[in-house]
Structure 1
Amino acid sequence: MDAARAETRTDRPFADALADLLAARSRQEIVAYERTFEQVGSALYRWDVWAAAYLIGGGCSDDAFLDFRAGVIALGQTRYDQVLASPDSLKHRYWAECVGQSRHAWSRCGHAAVRCTKAGRRSGSSGS
């Protein structure tokens, strides 16, 4: 996530930078990323985190909560750990740190591994 954030520019959204970084990895590394992403996302699947998402966004459907969790993960390990410890820590930081990233962008980051393999973007060859 940190590498993808470092590669993000106005003309290159976070989700695209993440997919490009994953595309350079072996199939095994991409699958490992996807499994890890699902595990850390599942750890955020709690009522107190959903309540924070609801308050921050002025409502939060199940799809929006999926995107919200992807956004939290994309903020990096430090912010992720803070949210696990105290979802209220997101009050003002979340949207400030997500400026320029739409809900759709976070949804795309949650599916980055699938996107790069389905599109044939994976450039690593012998990882399968």
Structure 2
Amino acid sequence: EGPLRILVVDDNRDAAQSLSVLLTSEGHEVLLAYDGYTALEIAQAEQPQVALLDIGLPGMDGYAVARALRQDPALKMTQLIALSGYGREVDRETARTAGFNGYLTKPIDFDELLCTLSRQSGAISINP
């Protein structure tokens, strides 16, 4: 289980940067975006193995970003994990429909996130 290239997308810069610091300390390479449009540009350029997407983004929400990423053949192996303040079943179902592989509620439990990532890394082939 090697390091992953992870795109963290959250309009809350403090939350995004905190998550980035924690993930970097685990040896992962972290890319940051604070809105959906930037997230798409970075994802297409960098092809992360995992994208942690906040659902409540301004302008283009996390569901729209996920659907757009799922349209890109180069990103079909990217594991999408929703980050949301809501944990209702309907929210999880909407996330699954949009193409998410996982769903975490905020505040993010870092151990749970690492657990999810180690499951994801087993599901992805890591390209240098």
Question: What TM-score, normalized by structure 2, do the two folds share?
Answer: 0.30
Max radius of gyration: which structure? 1
- Greater helix proportion: 1
Higher RCO (C-alpha under 8 Å, 6+ residues apart): 1
State the TM-score, normalized to the length of structure 1.
0.30
